Amino acid sequence: MPELPEVETMCRGIRQVKGRRISRVSTPKCSLRPIRIAPSVSAIQKCLRDEAILDITRLGKRVLLHTEEYALILQPRMAGLVSLGVAPSSKHIRLQIDFHGEPDCRLLYWDRRGLGSVELIRNDEVQSRIVVGRLGPDALQITSEDFATRLAKTSRAIKVALLDQKLLAGVGNLYASEMLHVAGIHPATPAAQLSKSRIRRLYNAMQDVLLTAIEHEGSTLSDGTYRNALNDPGSYQNQHRVYDRAGAPCPKCSAGIVERIVQAQRSTFFCSRCQKT
């Protein structure tokens, strides 16, 4: 967390800075463990000062701010946010970007746990340094054929395979549990053993779950960490079927109870009655 829907919401929420010119890049005073910023903030400031934001894109779970020459890559990881002028708390602001002109505008990168990163690279290096060997096709852009081909090549449990960013970019723990429940597939089923019809159901469930979560501006969990660009909570948590609902009745079959297991050191939620291996 945040996953694809939350990062896509961040990108959409900050698009009003598109076309604005950067006046200053800085790191507000913070007594907490610093995050990884490469190169130094002063070097980033030198490269980006007076440059215009020409585009804002998402790459898996990363936010990219593009100038004519550079891409500033913000990777929120477990508890990071990209927002406009407001943040859940001032002490966790790790990077601030101010812009020329009116109205007054600043972009903040906030990270409660300090696990995220900021990296500046040239636009023409994004593929070679970020994508190749590290990221598979985006979950909202991959074709059903490519999705099936990739799953057929791994014998890992389908839930574990879905979390592999080299196989598929953007899906994380929360939405993997949700889409498997919608598709009626047990999370421990080996990916390579899924039939064509079940893979098709999973592909359709993936698209539906992710797009609906984006419409609801992502999920704000009980810790309240995730917020949109205006510091408001998402609402997709109200649509969760199984995630973090262990012990509750299954909303699909009503007869089953949502269970929790651990896969690859992550919690998985499912209903064994309507999710068969």
The 3-class SS string of the chain reads: CCCHHHHHHHHHHCHHHCCCEEEEEECCCCCCCCCEEECCHHHHHHHHCCCECCEEEEECCEEEEECCCEEEEEECCCCEEEEECCCCCHHHEEEEEEECCCCCCEEEEEECCCCCEEEEEEHHHHHHHHHCCCCCCECCCCCHHHHHHHHHCCCCEHHHHHCCCCCCECCCHHHHHHHHHHHCECCCCEHHHCCHHHHHHHHHHHHHHHHHHHHCCCCCCCCCCCCCCCCCCCCHHHHCCCCCCCCCECCCCCCCEEEEEEECCEEEEEECCCCEC
pLDDT at position 230 is 87
pLDDT of residue 1: 79
What's the whole-number mean pLDDT along residues 239-250?
Answer: 96
Whole-angstrom Cα distance, residue 251 to residue 14? Answer: 35
Catalytic residues: 2-3, 61, 266
Average per-residue pLDDT in the chain?
95
The model's confidence at residue 75, banded by pLDDT at 50, 70 and 90, is: very high
Q: What is the mean pLDDT of residues 76-90?
A: 90
CA 237, 240, 246, 247 torsion-angle sign:
positive
Q: Omega of the bond prior to 190 within 30 degrees of 0, cis?
A: no
User: pLDDT tens digit string along 175-222?
Assistant: 999 999 999 999 999 999 999 999 999 999 999 999 999 999 999 998
Distance CA 175, CA 164 (A): 13
pLDDT in tens, 86-105: 888 888 999 999 999 988 89
Q: Tens of pLDDT along 228-237?
A: 988 899 999 9
Q: What is the CATH number of domain 144-271?
A: 1.10.8.50
pLDDT of residue 11 exceeding 90: yes
| pLDDT of 45 above 90 | yes
Whether 54 shows a pLDDT value over 90: the answer reads: yes
**How high is the pLDDT of residue 103?**
86
Q: What is the pLDDT of residues 18-32, one digit of tens each?
A: 999 999 999 988 788
Q: What's the predicted TM-score (pTM) here?
A: 0.95
What are the boundaries of each domain within the chain? 4-131, 144-271
pLDDT of residue 221: 92
Mean pLDDT in residue range 7-15: 96
pLDDT above 90 coverage of the chain, percent: 87
Identical fold for domains 4-131 and 144-271, yes or no, is no
Domain 4-131 in this protein, CATH class: alpha beta
